[in-house]
Copies of this chain bind each other. A is one copy, B any other.
């Protein structure tokens, strides 16, 4: 029974995807703007549904941070509506063509961008993800199945209802956006096996969720695992700049994946830099963990062994390592980074290029704060996630990442000899 209903959900999504891929950009933008209107005028209804979720969360003693993430108010609803209009303003990747030229046989070959098809998104807590993910999927011509956290079940339901009502108003199959609120894991497990209907799974949440999805899914998964990001301060760095990048990367917001978790310092400037850096970090309440050499140069709260590096603290903590060369810095990042975002601070262009060439991370930066590693700041407009695996997408994923390219061949009766 449950299996049937999960299958039904994915079949309906696949059917809806067939019409979605033929919509024009103008049609899609009109619908997105209409959803924005409807959200704004339904804010009382949204806040009421959200308050049920908030009450349950309070009665279950969820943390204040969790409750804050869950909360919707006038301002946050306005911000959701604004984000819908921003997605309408983004370039539509669907239909973009590039030529592979006329072949010797006489056939003309193109690659044409098309929607992926059906996306299953599994996420936790924040209900605004419901609207963001639905709008990005819709703009890129994909059907989406949204499985939000049970904490936000009432909020997600009313948001999905508003989206579906707008779709119906414009004569579009409402199964283009489906929200599942069941807490029954077997429904999710069944969906994760439906590779005949679903083309892509995006889990956004803790490592337990991602591991579960990875283990269970027969469908390709794009995972956003951890952000263990480093700043490497080279011997040729502008130390004042390095300090800015360090403080911004570590303290501007600590609970996010593009915050710094590690600092790697070249030995030649370690003495000069670490004293000042550690003093500033302490001023911001950051606990200092460091290798032996770090501890010889400045007071640390804990000396780290090699095995202790590579933690995603998501807190006011930093792991510092002193290295004797650029190569050793690259080795450290290779071993302990999570292929998310890695920064070099140096005035030496050649050493910057070597770092960028050698470090295997989705975003490699020269003289910039790791906090810029998100879709909006990198010029993608909006992001549906950040991929730390390399296939299909690597790093922040915008609209283009929700599409793929097919081959189009035009001939005049050519056959193969």
Is residue A116 contacting chain B, with contact meaning CB distance below 8 A? yes
Is residue A18 contacting chain B, with contact meaning CB distance below 8 A? yes
CB-defined contacts of A361 to chain B, threshold 8 Å: 406
Bound complex: CA A139 to CA B213 (Å): 34
CB-defined contacts of A101 to chain B, threshold 8 Å: 379
Is residue A220 contacting chain B, with contact meaning CB distance below 8 A? yes
Query: Which has the most chain B C-beta neighbours within 10 Å: A22, A248, A373, A415?
Result: A415
Do A368 and B410 touch (CB < 8 A)?
A: yes
Say how far A267's CB is from chain B's closest CB, in angstroms: 23
Per-residue contact bits, chain A 375-417, to B (CB 8 Å; 1 contact, 0 not): 0011110000000011111111000000011111111111110
Query: Which has the most chain B C-beta neighbours within 10 Å: A334, A363, A410?
Result: A410
Bound complex: CA A366 to CA B408 (Å): 8
Given the contacts A215-B218, A244-B415, A109 and B378 also touching, CB distance less than 8 Å? yes
With an 8 Å Cβ cutoff, the count of chain A residues facing the other chain is 72
Do B244 and A363 touch (CB < 8 A)?
A: no
CB-defined contacts of A390 to chain B, threshold 8 Å: 116-117, 199-200, 404
Bound complex: CA A416 to CA B258 (Å): 11
Given the contacts A199-B391, A390-B116, A369 and B416 also touching, CB distance less than 8 Å? yes
Do B363 and A409 touch (CB < 8 A)?
A: yes
Do B378 and A407 touch (CB < 8 A)?
A: yes
Bound complex: CA A162 to CA B83 (Å): 57
Bound complex: CA A352 to CA B360 (Å): 44
Given the contacts A356-B408, A378-B407, A409-B365, A371 and B416 also touching, CB distance less than 8 Å? yes
Do B22 and A357 touch (CB < 8 A)?
A: yes
Say how far A73's CB is from chain B's closest CB, in angstroms: 24
Do B363 and A407 touch (CB < 8 A)?
A: yes
Task: Tell me the nearest residue of chain B to A200, going by C-beta.
Answer: B391
Among B18, B221, B238, B360, contact of A413 (Cβ-Cβ < 8 Å): B238
Given the contacts A218-B214, A248-B415, A416-B248, A372 and B409 also touching, CB distance less than 8 Å? yes
Do A366 and B238 touch (CB < 8 A)?
A: no
Bound complex: CA A150 to CA B415 (Å): 37
Question: A37-71: which have CB < 8 Å to B?
Answer: none
Do B107 and A416 touch (CB < 8 A)?
A: no
CB-defined contacts of A409 to chain B, threshold 8 Å: 363-366, 368, 372-373, 378
Do B413 and A364 touch (CB < 8 A)?
A: no
Is residue A100 contacting chain B, with contact meaning CB distance below 8 A? yes
Given the contacts A413-B241, A416-B252, A364 and B396 also touching, CB distance less than 8 Å? no
Is residue A367 contacting chain B, with contact meaning CB distance below 8 A? yes
Query: Which has the most chain B C-beta neighbours within 10 Å: A105, A249, A413?
Result: A413
Q: Which residues of A contact B (CB under 8 A)?
A: 18, 21-22, 100-101, 103, 105, 107, 109, 112, 114, 116-117, 199-200, 214-215, 218, 220-222, 238, 241, 244-245, 247-249, 252, 334, 352, 356-358, 360-369, 371-373, 377-380, 389-396, 404-416
Sample (10) of A-B pairs whose CB atoms are under 8 Å apart: A109-B379, A200-B390, A220-B389, A244-B413, A244-B415, A249-B415, A363-B408, A372-B411, A372-B414, A391-B391
